[in-house]
Amino acid sequence: MSRREENDTTNPGVEELIEKIKNHTLSCDESVENAIDKIKKIDPKIKACISTPVVNGKDGILKGIPFAVKDNMEVIGTKTTCASKILENYVSPYTATAVQKVLDNGATLVAKTNMDEFAMGASTEYSAFFTTKNPLDLERVPGGSSGGSAAAVASGMVPFALGSDTGGSIRQPASFCGLVGYKPTYGLVSRYGLVAFASSLDQIGPITQNVRDAALIGEILFGMDPKDSTTVEKHLSLLKDIENPIKNFKFAVPKEFVKDLNSDVKRIFEGVIDRFKKMDVKVEEVSIPSLKYSVAVYYIIAPAEASSNLARYDGIRYGLSVDGKSIDEVYMRTKDEGFGREVKRRIMIGTFTLSATYYDAYFDKAQRTRAKIVNEMNKVFDSYDAIIGPTTPNVAFKIGQLSSPLEYYLQDIYTIPANLAGLPAISLPMGKIGGMPVGLQIMCKRFEDDKMLRIARNYEKVSQG
């Protein structure tokens, strides 16, 4: 057996790989080759990857660490499809800032991963190309829209992957695949080079095997970017205090999160609360009344922003172009053939709510309700260190199981509030139901990502101990 094959028996995390390379028990080339071999061997049945370019990084802390990127992030010279026929042959002319930061720190890109088309979905079933399967049960979805990234990490193809989170698209697949999914505070990570879905909600973050790896990658992604005016200069050290205890912290559990909770998920979550209490953490139920409107608000604001952002795919400048007898026909035929059913549905909803007749009744009202949700959540943070709850209402559902759009949209019921309020949020494993994982979600005040990861790491240690 070769040295490389000997090192291919486990699925080490980022820090573990760094240590192996540092100790010369694994070379940088072997580490990357292991990942490429695993993709060739495993991906035919998982279908996590849309393409497998190899883009080498520079020298840095991540030298020799392979990673994957959701296929809605630009990487120069590679195809960026957004899992849509309209961008099936589009080649990126530049690289997204977040991806470039990872490359600059030495990591090697080995895959662009599958997703729900234009990040609109919660299962990866809405990819225009194929459905990614959950590595823990091939009959189930891996979640979405960053399902390919989660599946790539869960199956051991890569130790970490980048995803995007508009309403839970990092955290929900992390929950379904038994991983850690970290959505940073809005503004900490540049969105430049991320193909826009809903610009006031989108955020890039890592999917990893453990909390420390999420902190390590998250910190690399931070920084003000002149190419993204929503970014801020905020210096956070996520690993500095991550091992410190959380004694005397206070956590809030919204009644709205546990009111109609699945009995099995509720049982596991109650166990989580007991663990925190044994750590001398105070856990109390609170009421955040406006949370009941979060799904409705999201499915007005997000489609409205999407209808504006996706107007650029007109068949003229880039992407698919379908001939027509007039310019209007080119527009209509290109979009009809290029966009899938779910994308069309959301564009139509968004265009409707932004129309002059219905703007005040829907979009304006949704924005005012969003402000109310933000204010109520911030008020909770005046008295509590974190808001905790389940990440998802259930474990991963079976492929093809959900046929109703409303039932499908409710998969994001617990994750959406963090996007509406721009809060940091993380999902980490809290237990299993019938062998399938379910996640614990932790949210903290804006720019308290370091505190949130410290809480997550403390829970991770106790749950593993």
Gap between the Cα atoms of 109 and 64, Å rounded: 10
Query: Residue 7: is its pLDDT beyond 50?
Result: no
Query: Residue 53: is its pLDDT beyond 60?
Result: yes
Tens-digit pLDDT profile for residues 308-319: 999 999 999 889
Report the half-sphere exposure of 20 (CA within 13 A, side-chain side).
23
Report the half-sphere exposure of 123 (CA within 13 A, side-chain side).
25
Active-site residue, 404 included: no
Active-site residue, 321 included: no
CATH number of 1-313+347-465: 3.90.1300.10
Q: Which of 70, 112, 183, 451 is catalytic?
A: 70
Q: Which of 145, 155, 290, 294 is catalytic?
A: 145
List the chain domain ranges: 1-313+347-465
Three-class secondary structure assignment of 433-447: ECCEEEEEEEECCCC
Active-site residue, 145 included: yes
User: Which pLDDT belongs to residue 410?
Assistant: 87
Q: Which of 84, 92, 169, 290 is catalytic?
A: 169
> Residue 264's Cα: distance from chain center in Å?
25
Tens-digit pLDDT profile for residues 266-294: 999 999 999 999 999 999 999 999 999 99
Is the pTM higher than 0.75? The answer reads: yes
Tens-digit pLDDT profile for residues 128-170: 999 999 999 999 999 999 999 999 999 999 999 999 999 999 9
Gap between the Cα atoms of 410 and 322, Å rounded: 35
